[in-house]
Chains A and B, each alone.
Chain A
Amino acid sequence: MRKSSLFALGLIPALLLAVTADAHKLRTSGVSVAVADSGVRVTPTRDWNRLDVKPGKKAETWTLDGTQLNDVTFYGGIEPGNPLVKERSKKREPLPKFTAATLVVEVPELLESTYRAYKGLAAFTVESTAPAKFLGQDGVRFTYFFTDDDQLTRKGEARAAIIKGSLYMVTFDAPRLHYFDHSIADFRALADSAKLN
């Protein structure tokens, strides 16, 4: 813990510099763009910000007002044996892995377990799970809510499909109060526009 706090002290000014030097990218309405270094393309119906900080090798985060208020994360083709996001320590803090045996109906549990292990949460509930199309394939659409360590309860909605053995997913997390309802339509439009080449 002490080590990480020392690290954080050094890190924060460095990040401030990095942030101003290397800005995030604008994703303009109506322009088709590839996400998460995968074959997935989306065409946003409004402007979004794509963050440079990637949560994982095959993941990418978009936001409108900052990730605390609305966070769209694309997972593009997670292969069996890999976690959804980058592990802090492979050995000491391993994250659950997507495996060849994972069923689509278990994807909500995989996301839940990843959030819990990564953020050390206890309050996470999957609210509903239903079949739905994603990327033109049979997949799952699920909703959930959780309380993060900033004590704010966030609501989430996600769509996922397993295509040729790889997991494709897009999630939307936002505070349950106001922000979720405010931007959910934008997220749905974005998710609907997703296509796999």
Chain B
Amino acid sequence: MSLFHSAVAGALALTSAAADKQTVAPPPPPYAGVYQPQGVDEIGMWREDDESERKLAASALVIRDEKLNAYVRNVLCETVGADRCRSVRIYIMREPTINASMSPNGTLRIFSGFLLRLRNEAELGAILGHEFGHYEKRHTLNRFKAARSGTDLLAWTALLASMAPSYDARRSYNDLELSVYGSLYRFSRDNEREADFLGISYLNRSLLRPQAAASVFQGLMGEFEASARAKGLKKPNFSKIAFAASHPPDAERAAYLTLLAAPAGASRDNGADRYRGALAPWLPAFLSDQIKLNDFGASEYIINSLAASGWTPTLWMARGDLYRLRGNPRDLVNAAEFYEAAVQLDPTLADAYRGLGLSLIKTGRPSDGQAALRKYLELKPDAADRAFIQMMLPVQGVGQ
């Protein structure tokens, strides 16, 4: 009896192990090579896409930093393999929101807001791999019929909007443009699952940790919830974020992404140090873009999650800016404390002295504040607001 039991248990263990094995994503299919559009619909779509890429390439919002671009490209190549990677042009956009997309002709857009939120190379690989999955499976073509009626709508609205000489009408048009283009790249849930599946296949085969795919979504969910909490909302508005709107429910997604990842990959490097190093020159700018969006909950969440691997002067200063800009009396006391932490770690961080000085002046410590502002001007003699700060120095109290 006991023998039978253990045999049944053994068999069960075997089948469940087999089932587990089956859920791990298989290696990606061999790459089909360069693809050319076929049929009227697809040829037309590619032509529009080429035009849109031409505009994009000239855009003032594209970050042209060679090193950062080379790094992101390298991560894509590491993830999907050198042969696939050749068909892609990457554009890093200076946009503080969370988005990444890939269009049918091989244009990959990734927003700086997304780069700010990722914590390591494996997470970046997961996002790039996912987008590449849409591209390889040519999901956009499947959506094209629906989208075509959408772009007709857009053409008519553009005409009407250009006739209405008011800012609001133009803004509505811009919103509409975003939402129609959004639907062009908004895939069905099945498409998303397929892209997730393929994305993990690439990661399983790469040197990066495939489990990172699940952690990206856990991180984003945490941030949306923190943002909603700080605004006093009952629940986060996931549909506001284009990337999250059409994707499978995130708890479900995090669960199956975990299952798809090859268990052996869990011990692989996630490249957190390399990622931090590559992003370091841009981190202060990306953080400042985020903080000035006035979304306190989300910014605080991002700063704290970046600080999980240790507080740096940049992070302390960002937190000081966040609190100083909200500007409640209690915030200013906290801000001064954060700036002090920043300058203790890096006594050459000029902008932290500026924030510290202004916060101290506002919390009734003008002489300490002026000392900090003096230090700011000493460290940054060509500061944009030098003349103004100098005027504040000899005067006690508020600088008017």
Contact = CB atoms under 8 A, between A and B. Distances in A.
A109 interface: yes
B362 A103 contact: yes
A187 B180 CA distance: 38
Contact of B292 (A103, A116, A149): A116
A26 interface: no
A15 B294 CA distance: 30
A12 B172 contact: yes
Given A104-B399, A106-B358, A151-B55, A13 B166 contact: no
Interface string A86-118: 000001101111010111111011001100110
Instruction: Select the residue from A53, A94, A102, A105 with max chain B CB neighbours within 10 A.
Output: A105
Interface string A162-193: 10000000000000000000000000000000
A8 B325 CA distance: 33
B399 to A, nearest CB: 6
Nearest to A162: B400
Interface in B93-146: 94-97, 112-113
A31 interface: no
Contacts of A4: 172, 175-176, 179
A140 B391 CA distance: 11
A128 B388 CA distance: 10
Given A11-B172, A94-B294, A19 B60 contact: no
Contacts of A9: 153, 157, 176
Interface residue range, chain B? 35 or more
B169 interface: yes
B384 A128 contact: yes
A45 interface: no
Contacts of B94: 122-123
A103 B112 CA distance: 31
A116 B169 contact: no
Interface residues of A, number: 59
A38 interface: no
B45 interface: no
A39 interface: no
A113 B384 contact: no
Nearest to A104: B400
A47 interface: no
B398 A103 contact: yes
B167 A105 contact: no
B384 A126 contact: yes
B60 A102 contact: no
A73 B327 CA distance: 25
B294 A149 contact: no
Contact of A147 (B60, B176, B293): B60
A51 interface: yes
Contacts of B65: none
A105 to B, nearest CB: 5
A71 to B, nearest CB: 8
Nearest to B359: A101
Nearest to B55: A151
Nearest to A2: B179
B392 interface: yes
A1 B294 contact: no
A103 B370 CA distance: 14
Interface string A1-31: 1101101110111011001000000000000
Contact of A66 (B163, B165, B176, B242): B165
Interface of A: 1-2, 4-5, 7-9, 11-13, 15-16, 19, 51, 53, 55, 61, 66-68, 91-92, 94-97, 99, 101-106, 108-109, 112-113, 116-117, 120-124, 126-131, 138, 140, 142, 147, 149-151, 153, 162
14 contacts: A11-B172, A12-B161, A13-B160, A61-B167, A91-B232, A103-B398, A104-B399, A105-B358, A105-B392, A117-B293, A122-B95, A122-B96, A130-B385, A131-B388
Please give me the 8 A-B residue pairs with the lowest Cβ-Cβ distance, nearest first.
A8-B172, A129-B385, A1-B179, A117-B294, A113-B292, A130-B387, A122-B94, A122-B289
Interface of B: 55, 59-61, 94-97, 112-113, 153, 157, 160-161, 163-170, 172-176, 178-180, 182, 231-233, 237, 239-240, 242, 245, 289, 292-295, 325, 327-329, 332, 358, 361-362, 384-385, 387-389, 391-392, 398-400
Given A113-B292, A113-B294, A117-B294, 10 more contacts: A12-B160, A55-B167, A91-B233, A99-B328, A104-B400, A120-B293, A122-B96, A122-B289, A126-B384, A147-B61
